[in-house]
Amino acid sequence: MSGASVKVAVRVRPFNSREIGKESKCIIQMTGNTTTIINPKVPKENKSFNFDYSYWSHTSPEDINYASQQQVYKDIGEEMLLHAFEGYNVCIFAYGQTGAGKSYSMMGKQEKDQKGIIPLLCEDLFTKINDSNNDNSLSYSVEVSYMEIYCERVRDLLNPKKKGNLRVREHPLLGPYVEELSKLAVTSYNEIQDIMDSGNKARTVAATNMNEISSRSHAVFNIIFTQKRHDAETENTFEKVSKISLVDLAGSERADSTGAKGTRLKEGANINKSLTTLGKVISALTENKKKKKVESFIPYRDSVLTWLLRENLGGNSRTAMVAALSPADINYDETLSTLRYADRAKQIRCNAVINEDPNNRLVRELKEEVSRLKELLYAQGLGDIIEITSAMTGRSPCPSLSILSKQAGSNKSLHDRLLFSPGSEETIERLKETEKIIAELNETWEEKLRRTEGIRMERSALLAEMGVAMREDGGTVGVFSPKKTPHLVNLNEDPLMSECLLYYIKDGITSHQDIVLSGHFIKDEHCTFTSTTGPLGESKLP
């Protein structure tokens, strides 16, 4: 299975209202797996590309050639899920211009037969787990994380307490990872659906408060899938751990086509930085495939996105790309750019391996790393602070020199030795980081479930504090609100994020203390609502 190429699919959507209003012409043709784009200025100048899949979704579902959500999942999602059960890391990422249909292919809609790859894969995952319940020697565990990368900053979408920028770190054994990113334990598809819905609400809140739209950020949904098989004869337990990364990239477009200025232009530059770096990484990997001896430098660390997706691009992963296309002649340049991008991506080869017993090996290697770091500190004459760092809880931040000095009392000589020992603070930080990772790996499933429930309650309380109303099961309430109760509903350029937040207007006066809105161009005191009760007992706004 090693040395397999990235699977690449392209999908063309129907015209949107803007394209219909401009009487756009369709410039995409598909025959089998071949996609052809026609230059509207020079109609005879066609360019054709071959992909693993070319999905025609431009016409209505009644069309015999129409590629449905289920077809896309069957071809791409089912294969990747099968590889996850085999023990491989897998990744599916969507790329394309804003409004080209990335989010629809990845997330879809709630209506019947409209679910995208992510919910269908999660549903299928638990269906397969439940079908295997008769095998007592097998057990499964599923953990999820959901993050947003916006202007090179990482935000945890599942834990409301972590509002700021999360730090991306590199560990010699783990590789790149996001420090303090929540990993929540789930036991059913309904739980994973609620978590996805909560994550999307967190994106919505940020978009509402910061005047953003979702397509301006990358969304990364990770599933850590662990399979354990117990051998009754030998009493040994064997593990396979797969990381499933599902990525909805920010929209790719040029500044001159969006008309962006000021903050939006700067924001677009940051987004384009990560997408440009992704393009450079893909190009460098493609060049390496052509060169047999000398390998060119791969600029993974030039952006947070490519740094975190390093293993999925030419590393230990089975990877698929879905490129979303607009069919309209007015988007010719962006669509051609997307096709060229996808054409390069299909030349990348990944060297995936089955991750058997990785946790046992990783704990052993991490413990060896701890021993090595302690020996290094002892050699520097700093052995007396090892107990101080080890005594601190595994979830606390890494201690700084000043904190360590306080922990050691007013021991001036200890502070001086820390201050003047080359690399000592870096060694202490690495020791603390490694011990924290070991503690997380040794956390029991019951402890993970308790922590997940705690975070869920914190999230609900925070949303309630902001004046956001939710159903008891955590679902969206925008369309379920009582008609006789005055309320505000959020609107967003992205239909997936519109009408996701509901702010009730209480009797009397409602001010900013009751409904929290913050962000660019929003004043603390920006409006007041007064609600009165009518003769029939109905609340109304004057």
Cβ count near 65 (within 10 Å): 11
Tokens of 81: 């899920």
Cβ atoms of residues 69 and 108 within 8 Å: yes
Distance, CA of 155 to CA of 202 (rounded, Å): 10
Is 99 part of any known ligand binding site?
Answer: yes
DSSP for 188-214, please give it: SHHHHHHHHHHHHHHHHHHHHHHT--G
Is the dihedral angle over the CA atoms 99, 164, 303, 145 positive or is it negative? negative
Confirm or deny that 164 is annotated as ligand binding.
no
Residue 521 CA to residue 524 CA, distance in Å, equals 10
Tokens (6 digits) for 252: 């790719």
From the list 83, 95, 101, the residue with the least C-alpha distance to 14 is: 101
Which DSSP symbol is given to 385? Answer: G
* 430 CA to centre of own chain: 26
Any binding-site annotation on 103? yes
- Which sequence positions are flagged as catalytic? 99, 101-104, 248, 251
Task: Quote the CA–CA distance of 87 and 340 in Å, as a whole number.
Answer: 32
- Please give the angle made by the CA atoms of 355, 356 and 358, to the nearest 5 degrees: 75
CA angle 292, 295, 296 (to 5 degrees): 135
Distances (CA, A) of 97 to 118, 247, 325, 327, 335: 20, 15, 7, 11, 7
Residue 97 among known ligand-binding residues: yes
Cα separation, 451 vs 185, whole angstroms: 8
What is the distance, to the nearest Å, from the Cα of residue 403 to the centroid of all Cα atoms in its chain? 34
Alpha-carbon gap, residue 115 to 403, rounded angstroms: 50
Strands 90-96 and 236-248, by their bridges, are parallel
What are the DSSP calls for 298-348, one per residue? P-GGGSHHHHHTGGGTTSSSEEEEEEEE--BGGGHHHHHHHHHHHHHHTT-
Q: Is 439 annotated as a binding residue?
A: no
394 annotated ligand binder: no
Give the single-character DSSP code of 292: S
Give the dihedral sign, CA 260/263/264/265: positive
Q: In whole angstroms, how far apart are CA 28 and each of 49, 59, 361?
A: 11, 12, 50
> What is the sign, positive or negative, of the torsion defined by CA atoms of 152, 158, 161, 167?
negative
3 state SS of 65:
coil
Q: Which two tokens stand for residue 35?
A: 């996609």
Residue 76 is classified by DSSP as I
Please name the amino acid found at residue 427.
Answer: T
Task: For residue 102, say whether it is annotated as part of any ligand binding site.
Answer: yes
Residue list, annotated binding site: 96-103
Residue list, annotated binding site for ATP: 96-103
